Structure 1
Amino acid sequence: MKKYLSFAAGAFGHDAFYNTLSLYFVMFVTSQLFATSDQAFNTRMIGYVTILMTIIRVVEIAFDPMIGGAVDNTSTRWGKFKPWLLIGTLTASVMLALIFSSFGGLATNKPMLYLVLFGIAFLTLDVFYSFSDIALWSMLPALSMDSKERTRFGTVSRFGSTLGAQSVIIIIVPAVTLISGFFGASAGQQNQMGWLGYAVIVGLLASVGAIVLAKNVKEDQNLIRANVEHTRFRDVFKVIAGNDQLMWLALSYFLFAFSYVINNSLLLYYFRYVLGHAEAYALVGIITSILGVISVAIFPSLAVKISRKFVYIGGIGLMFIGFVIFAFAGTNLTMALIAASVIFFPYPLIFLATLMTISDLVEYGQLKSGKRNEAVTLSVRPLIDKLAGAFSNGIVGVVAIGAGMTGNAKPGDITSSGLFQFKAFMFYGPMVLLVISALIFLWKVTLTEEKHADVVKQLRKKLTNDAAATDNKE
């Protein structure tokens, strides 16, 4: 129980960090950092920052498999995951506080210098967050060889991460407003110091969670995990490309994640600039936290009754219905809340189905190639999430500018063409991506729980025979 709760604590802080960065940093940039009286300057700097973020994340993402290789090749008295989890989380937390600042006023006084410093800080954050992200989720296949036991760990970890991610939605507006009040903001208003204070709190949560996890969770030692060879950096992409099931799953999950993140990233804009009820956004967090707990709790039984494949495909079908409701919600707050709930409810189910399948693909790849690559294989999932987040950040900045949703704009300031453009990115495009994602998973991802159990049996038999043959030679 201590291991389960500790893993959940680490995942809680980890996803609170991720949602703060992925969903709300661009909001900070567009509403607070560049909200001067010079609109042309604001637009130009918002564009520079979003383009810089996108470029950095896309370039850094290419190194994620090599980060996975570095984790796989690590050997310490604390295991291979914990050192990177701690170093990555602590460093990324410091950088999070830096980017949620104006670098001492440089953002407006010396904008070019600000862009250079921001680029360095964001790149550092992205690299070290990748180490912590890959180390955290790569631990799952190292904790047990049994799919059911992995499902329990995955369920508990997703329970923690869901609460962490959704708690951000609940408290982001009131917390930033409260902290802003301590630094001179008028009642109900926000300022840069409010956002900075919030980022510091999130960094502390992530750091404490990583420390608790590292202290209480240990890797399982067995014959299959002992069959590990160091993977050369130049070979890590061959490992991924050689796993056909991993490649198909990656493509399907990318389309799903991109669809979800675009919608989620634009949700606060919808409440603020379309509905005119930014304060009601906290209701989304409260509702989805409750739904998330239910969703995660039912995953194990659903996976047994209908299999992970149909949890994944059925979840996407439910999300599609949510998008349809949202597209017709207009300025109706109740319909918007219902739509957001329907879209979110299956998300933890789809995430867990993906995570458990990728964990099982470690043994599938090991049987195919003869080498075990835990972190390299598991690095694919965070790589995809970050790639989706990177493209989403770039799109959100462009959409916010194009729709006129910047600074202190009001719902009445948004033109009909701006609103149509906004809806095209928030609803219509993501719906198409969801359909393609489901079809790929249905037709191409064939590794079931039963097939994985057979793979593990074959591996044990092969490794036992190899060990016996080696003993006989000696």
Structure 2
Amino acid sequence: MRQHIVYAFGNLGQSGFYNALSTYFVVYVTSSLFANVDETVASRLIGVITGLIVVIRIAEIFIDPLLGNLIDNTTTRMGRFRPWQLIGGTVSAILLFMVYTGLFGLVNVNQTWFIVLFVIVFIVLDVFYSLRDISYWGMIPAISEDSHERSVYTALGSFGGSIGYNGLTIIVIPVVSYFSFLFTGSYAESQSGWTAFGIIVALLGIITAWSVAFGTKERESALRSKAQKNGNPLQAFAALAKNDQLLWVALSYLFYAVANTATTGVLFYLFKFVLGQPEAFSIAGVIPVFTGLGASALYPIINRYVPRRYLFLGGMVFMVIAYLIFIFASSSLPLVVVGLLFFYLPATFIQMTAILSLTDSVEYGQLKTGRRNEAVTLSVRPMLDKIAGALSNGIVGFIAVAAGMVGSATAADMTAANIHTYKIFAFYTPLAFIVVSALVFMFTVKIDEKMHAEIVEELEAKLASGEIESEDAKDADLVEENAAEGAAARK
């Protein structure tokens, strides 16, 4: 029970940290970072900083598997994953605090040096956050080999993450406003308010990361101890390429993630330009809070009676219904709310099933190749989310321009052609992606709870019999062979 609580608490801080790093850091940059800089220069610097963030995020897509390989090859007394919770959580928290101070005011002293140092600090910050994120999800197969127990840990992580991510959205403005008033006498956003916010998030990040580092325990099972060494990145990638179940799950999830992020990225346009009620957009923020918390708590209970394969495909059916409502009833606020319920309710089930399928593919890959790539395998999902996020950024900008939903335009300015263009890219295309995702999962993903249990049993038997030889056994055979050759030479 203690380890369950600690694991859930870990993602509370980690998800809140991610929200502060991705969403609210951009808000801070555009509102307060350059408040004391000439307006013309400030506009140019905002463009430079936001552009650099996008470039760094895209580049990070290709770094995550390398970081996973680094974690997989870590050998310490604390285990493979917990050291990176400690190191990644601490370093990333310190650097987050630094960027929320404008690098201790350097932005107001020398903008050129600020840009140079900002790039360095943000890259290092992103790398160490990724090390924490990958090691957090990557440790699930190291904590338990039981498929249901893994679903419990995944649910707990999702539960804590939902509280942390959405909870930060609730407190950010009150926190920034309070500390701005405390230091400036005004409730308007200020550098001091955002610095205080950065300190709070950084402290939460350190506390939750340390709780996982010192409050969890990796199991040293036969499957892990007898696995071949993970090797260099090329060897790890070669092993992943042979893991067909991992690749099919990843492809299915990628179609889902692109559809999901493309739609959520332009939901505000639905309220502002189609419904003409932008003030009602808060509904789209409240619904996922409650559906996420409820679904993550119920998932392991429902999964005892319903195989996760059906939870994934059932979730896809819910999303299809949601898109049909958005397409044919987008002018009715009550029906749009119903559509949002169908859209957000299955999201946790779909995402958790994908995580668990990727987790169980660790043993599947080990059975096929002899290599146990835990962190590299679990780095695939964050990488797919980042690919989808990068595509979403481009999609949002394209839809806004193509549908004329820019500048001072209002719902009254929208023509039938504008609305149709919006629906094509916001609903019709993502709906097609959801259908493809479901079909890929249905016809290619074979690994489930029963198959995973059989794989674990077969793997244990083959490792015990020596049919799958561990790296240590290979080293022993090599030593014995060299000794025999030396004895023969002496004779």
Match of 2:345 in 1: 345
Amino acid across the alignment from 1:290: F
Deviation string 1:312-371 (CA, Å, 9 cap, x unpaired) is 222133234334545677687666655444322212111210111111101000000011
Superposed, 1:435-454 pairs within 5 Å as: 435-454=435-454
Asked if the contact 2:370/2:468 (under 8 Å) is kept, the reply is: no
Per the TM alignment, residue 142 of structure 1 is displaced from its structure 2 partner at its CA by: 0.5
Per the TM alignment, residue 455 of structure 1 is displaced from its structure 2 partner at its CA by: 0.7
Secondary structure of 1:294's aligned partner:
helix
Amino acid across the alignment from 1:163: I
CA gap 1:467/1:316 in 2 versus in 1, 3 angstroms:
closer
Match of 1:197 in 2: 196
CA gap 1:104/1:154 in 2 versus in 1, 3 angstroms:
closer
Per the TM alignment, residue 424 of structure 1 is displaced from its structure 2 partner at its CA by: 6.1
Per the TM alignment, residue 173 of structure 1 is displaced from its structure 2 partner at its CA by: 3.8
Any gaps of 5 or more consecutive residues in structure 1? none
Match of 2:279 in 1: 277
Q: Whole-Å Cα distance in 2 between the matches of residues 462 and 41 of structure 1?
A: 66
Any gaps of 5 or more consecutive residues in structure 2? 481-491
CA gap 1:90/1:396 in 2 versus in 1, 3 angstroms:
farther
Q: Whole-Å Cα distance in 2 between the matches of residues 413 and 39 of structure 1?
A: 31
Per the TM alignment, residue 244 of structure 1 is displaced from its structure 2 partner at its CA by: 1.0
Q: Whole-Å Cα distance in 2 between the matches of residues 43 and 376 of structure 1?
A: 40
Q: Whole-Å Cα distance in 2 between the matches of residues 62 and 87 of structure 1?
A: 21
Match of 2:182 in 1: 182
Per the TM alignment, residue 4 of structure 1 is displaced from its structure 2 partner at its CA by: 0.2
Amino acid across the alignment from 2:121: A
Q: Whole-Å Cα distance in 2 between the matches of residues 18 and 207 of structure 1?
A: 13
Match of 1:224 in 2: 223
CA gap 1:108/1:424 in 2 versus in 1, 3 angstroms:
farther
Match of 2:375 in 1: 375
Per the TM alignment, residue 37 of structure 1 is displaced from its structure 2 partner at its CA by: 11
Amino acid across the alignment from 2:362: V
Asked if the contact 2:230/2:372 (under 8 Å) is kept, the reply is: no
Superposed, 1:407-426 pairs within 5 Å as: 412=410, 416=414, 426=426
Deviation string 1:265-295 (CA, Å, 9 cap, x unpaired) is 55578778974438x63x6555433322221
Amino acid across the alignment from 2:204: L
CA gap 1:324/1:97 in 2 versus in 1, 3 angstroms:
farther
Secondary structure of 2:466's aligned partner:
helix
CA gap 1:332/1:48 in 2 versus in 1, 3 angstroms:
farther
Superposed, 1:154-193 pairs within 5 Å as: 154-184=154-184, 189-193=188-192
CA gap 1:395/1:28 in 2 versus in 1, 3 angstroms:
farther
Secondary structure of 1:277's aligned partner:
helix
CA gap 1:18/1:49 in 2 versus in 1, 3 angstroms:
same
Q: Whole-Å Cα distance in 2 between the matches of residues 108 and 416 of structure 1?
A: 43
Q: Whole-Å Cα distance in 1 between the matches of residues 398 and 38 of structure 2?
A: 18
Asked if the contact 2:144/2:219 (under 8 Å) is kept, the reply is: yes
Q: Is 1:319 matched with 2:319?
A: yes
CA gap 1:285/1:306 in 2 versus in 1, 3 angstroms:
same
Larger radius of gyration: 2
Amino acid across the alignment from 1:258: V
Q: Which moved more, 1:389-398 or 1:315-324?
A: 389-398
Match of 1:458 in 2: 458
Q: Whole-Å Cα distance in 1 between the matches of residues 463 and 309 of structure 2?
A: 29
Asked if the contact 1:253/1:437 (under 8 Å) is kept, the reply is: yes
TM-score normalised per structure 1: 0.84
CA gap 1:149/1:169 in 2 versus in 1, 3 angstroms:
same
Amino acid across the alignment from 2:15: D
CA gap 1:275/1:36 in 2 versus in 1, 3 angstroms:
farther
Amino acid across the alignment from 1:151: S
Q: Whole-Å Cα distance in 1 between the matches of residues 360 and 224 of structure 2?
A: 13
Superposed, 1:227-242 pairs within 5 Å as: 227-228=226-227, 229-242=229-242
Q: Which moved more, 1:459-468 or 1:288-297?
A: 459-468
Q: Whole-Å Cα distance in 2 between the matches of residues 104 and 423 of structure 1?
A: 45
Asked if the contact 2:14/2:205 (under 8 Å) is kept, the reply is: yes
CA gap 1:301/1:70 in 2 versus in 1, 3 angstroms:
same
Q: Which moved more, 1:202-211 or 1:114-123?
A: 114-123
Asked if the contact 1:357/1:447 (under 8 Å) is kept, the reply is: yes
Per the TM alignment, residue 113 of structure 1 is displaced from its structure 2 partner at its CA by: 4.4
Q: Whole-Å Cα distance in 2 between the matches of residues 176 and 330 of structure 1?
A: 35
Q: Which moved more, 1:232-241 or 1:358-367?
A: 232-241
Q: Whole-Å Cα distance in 1 between the matches of residues 225 and 170 of structure 2?
A: 44
Amino acid across the alignment from 2:75: S
Q: Whole-Å Cα distance in 2 between the matches of residues 33 and 398 of structure 1?
A: 28
CA gap 1:426/1:197 in 2 versus in 1, 3 angstroms:
farther
Deviation string 1:239-272 (CA, Å, 9 cap, x unpaired) is 2211111111112212222332344455578778
Per the TM alignment, residue 210 of structure 1 is displaced from its structure 2 partner at its CA by: 1.0
Q: Whole-Å Cα distance in 1 between the matches of residues 36 and 263 of structure 2?
A: 28
Amino acid across the alignment from 2:200: I
- Please provide the CA RMSD for this pair: 3.9
CA gap 1:45/1:345 in 2 versus in 1, 3 angstroms:
farther
Match of 1:214 in 2: 213
Q: Is 1:8 matched with 2:5?
A: no
Q: Is 1:19 matched with 2:19?
A: yes
Match of 1:84 in 2: 84
Asked if the contact 2:265/2:392 (under 8 Å) is kept, the reply is: yes
Per the TM alignment, residue 185 of structure 1 is displaced from its structure 2 partner at its CA by: 7.5
Secondary structure of 1:220's aligned partner:
coil
CA gap 1:284/1:173 in 2 versus in 1, 3 angstroms:
farther
Sequence identity (%):
38
TM-score normalised per structure 2: 0.82
Asked if the contact 2:245/2:446 (under 8 Å) is kept, the reply is: yes
Match of 1:293 in 2: 293
Per the TM alignment, residue 34 of structure 1 is displaced from its structure 2 partner at its CA by: 6.9
Amino acid across the alignment from 1:208: I
Asked if the contact 1:50/1:397 (under 8 Å) is kept, the reply is: no
Q: Whole-Å Cα distance in 1 between the matches of residues 74 and 331 of structure 2?
A: 53
Q: Whole-Å Cα distance in 1 between the matches of residues 242 and 145 of structure 2?
A: 22
CA gap 1:303/1:377 in 2 versus in 1, 3 angstroms:
same
Match of 1:133 in 2: 133
Q: Whole-Å Cα distance in 2 between the matches of residues 468 and 270 of structure 1?
A: 56
